[in-house]
Amino acid sequence: MHPIVQRRRAHGMTLVEVLIAIVIFAIGLLGIAALQVAGLRYTKGSQTRAIAAVQADNFIDRIRANPAGFDAGDYDSPSSTPGTDCLANECTNPEDLADWDWQQWLSETRQALGIKRSDDNLNTDANVNAWLCVDSSPNDGTSGAWACDGNGGIYALKLEWRERVAEGAGLADTYSSSGASAADTGYVLNRYVVRFLP
């Protein structure tokens, strides 16, 4: 009788199996990294929308604090050029206060949502714009063409800003002294509209 020799099967992993496991693990890590980047981008987007909502409420409160200016229609078309500085000088005229409110609020909003200024001058970043009007259909219109129809008796504060979505040539989160950006590539236009009765 011959003894039966049993062959032992090798236990463990081969080098090819280890390499395949490492590749699968690396792909998983890249996917997790991409999710992190997307999460940060969405967090930044929700942060800017929250800032827009706070800034809109701020301006509505400014209007409610100047009922004489509102009743006179001074907020219907506020001046685009700085007038009386109501911090340095007392604004006794409701129209001056309305113009100052608009200029200060728009500069603060541009500072919060646009390119930052490092000096104390008004921010004139053209990538952040706003308009106040009476409008029965506030969600229509395009950038710069607000489509305010003057109907409905309810005011609409329309605010839009450009938000960076991709890294582009020359796009950096830096402070400037002019508050203006040169290129729109890599940006998306966001819009926030709130309707209110003062």
pLDDT(8) > 80: no
Instruction: Give CA–CA dist 100/87, Å, rounded.
Output: 9
pLDDT digits (tens, 9 = 90+) for 54-103: 999 999 999 999 999 888 888 877 766 667 788 788 888 888 888 888 88
pLDDT digits (tens, 9 = 90+) for 105-130: 988 888 888 777 777 777 777 788 88
pLDDT digits (tens, 9 = 90+) for 15-40: 888 899 999 999 999 999 988 888 88
pLDDT confidence tier of residue 44, bands split at 50, 70 and 90: confident
Query: Residue 154 in contact with residue 195, Cβ under 8 Å?
Result: yes
Q: What is the DSSP letter of 118?
A: S
User: Which H helix or E strand runs over 112?
Assistant: helix 94-113
Q: What is the DSSP letter of 117?
A: B
Instruction: Give CA–CA dist 110/51, Å, rounded.
Output: 11
The answer to whether the pTM exceeds 0.85 is no
pLDDT confidence tier of residue 1, bands split at 50, 70 and 90: low
147-153: long-range contacts, CB 8 A cutoff, minimum separation 24: 153/197
Instruction: Give CA–CA dist 100/85, Å, rounded.
Output: 7
Instruction: Give CA–CA dist 137/116, Å, rounded.
Output: 32
Q: What are the DSSP calls for 129-192, one per residue?
A: EEEEEE-SSTT--BTTB------SS-EEEEEEEEEE-S--TT-----BSS---S--TTEEEEEE
The region of weakest confidence among 34-43, 102-111, 174-183, 186-195 is 174-183
Query: Residue 118 in contact with residue 177, Cβ under 8 Å?
Result: yes
